[in-house]
Amino acid sequence: MAPSAKAGELAIDVHGLTKRFGSKVAVDKADIAVPTGEVWGFLGPNGSGKTTTIRMLCGLLRADAGTGTVLGYDFRTQSEKIKREVGYMTQKFSFWEDLSIRENLDFVARVYELPEARATVTQTLDRLGLTKRQDQLAGDLSGGWKQRLALAACMLHAPKMLLLDEPTAGVDPKARRDFWDEIHRLSSEGLTVLVSTHYMDEAERCDRIVYINLGTIVARGTVGEVIAQSGLHTFIVEGEGARALAGKLHGKPGVEFVAFFGAALHVSGKDRGALEAALAPFAREEGLNIHAAAPSLEDVFIQLQERGTGDYA
């Protein structure tokens, strides 16, 4: 067994994590250090390397380079032991749709060769609110209940860490909220969670976030730290002419990106003076309201993504 977790210990302590597919570098020398019992958000655009990183950490994919430990085990040489201590939830629902909830969990329990498997399944069904639906076929479940079944399967063997790969994609807001309430409850019991997501409200519920783009970690820290580190300034443009202003602002000195948030326009960049100068000619237009605001996490991520794709200088 892995050493018992203590306050301040790192559940993940990996350095130089690298994976190549032919000439493509999917993950490039990533350093990841996640304290035991924390919830970390793993963010980045599609194809950024999030899933590849998660699969290397849980032993499903061999790294080309890197050193370190996951749950106290060498992640390169002791992957089989790591698999026994980790619950991994994939992006796609991967259980048998012609079996009931209980039958799916019974099968998973047998795969893990759990002692008192039936009692463990019963306890897990109760813990995740699945008891009344245990005889329902998995194929008949909504996205939220499928997600809950997948989480139950991850929890059967009492893992020390959960690796969740976009677990709430396509799930309704209430189911997402319920899922996150459960994640934080598990974290309060000492479980470590690394979750990839595209949802900013979910990122804001994490203890810390890591942003990866083109295989490289480009930002990390608490939400407040990541926003502060960005050096970004944001102005909000509201009013009837806000949408028409977007095309006029693109390419102006100091304007790094322009994005719609509902009916408002967010105009951001690192040079506040240049931003003010770019917006000044429009400040006198009737019906427009232009004011400075604290940048949102989404503003920062749009900046990071567009910087990575080369859309802006």
**Given this model, what pLDDT does residue 286 score?**
79
Each residue's pLDDT tens digit, 20-61: 999 999 999 999 999 999 999 999 888 889 999 999 999 899
Question: Alpha-carbon distance 39 to 209, whole Å?
Answer: 9
Nearest to 39 by CA among 202, 225, 215: 202
Residue 2 above 60 pLDDT? no
**Given this model, what pLDDT does residue 308 score?**
56
Each residue's pLDDT tens digit, 289-298: 999 999 999 8
Where is 278: in which H helix or E strand? helix 272-279
**Given this model, what pLDDT does residue 171 score?**
79
Cβ(77)–Cβ(70) below 8 Å: no
**Given this model, what pLDDT does residue 309 score?**
46
pTM given for the model? 0.84
Task: Domain 233-294: give its CATH code.
Answer: 3.30.70.2070
**Given this model, what pLDDT does residue 8 score?**
58
Structure-token pair, residue 61: 């994919």
**Given this model, what pLDDT does residue 301 score?**
87
Question: Alpha-carbon distance 157 to 124, whole Å?
Answer: 10
- Each domain of the chain, given as residue ranges in start order, spans 10-226, 233-294
Question: Alpha-carbon distance 128 to 152, whole Å?
Answer: 7
Each residue's pLDDT tens digit, 212-248: 988 999 999 999 999 999 999 999 999 887 888 888 8
Each residue's pLDDT tens digit, 173-191: 888 888 899 899 999 999 9
Each residue's pLDDT tens digit, 83-97: 999 999 988 888 999
Question: Alpha-carbon distance 71 to 12, whole Å?
Answer: 6
Superfamily of domain 10-226: P-loop containing nucleotide triphosphate hydrolases (3.40.50.300)
Question: Tell me, what DSSP letter sits at residue 133?
Answer: G
295: left (phi over 0), alpha (psi -120 to 50) or beta: beta
Cβ(76)–Cβ(66) below 8 Å: yes
Write down the H helix ranges in 34-188.
50-57, 79-85, 101-111, 117-127, 143-155, 173-188
Structure-token pair, residue 203: 């990122």
**Given this model, what pLDDT does residue 305 score?**
79
Each residue's pLDDT tens digit, 63-75: 999 999 999 999 9
**Could you tell me what percent of the chain has a pLDDT over 70?**
95
Question: Alpha-carbon distance 85 to 154, whole Å?
Answer: 10
- Starting at the earlier edge strand, list the strands of the sheet with 10-21: 24-35, 10-21, 65-70, 73-74
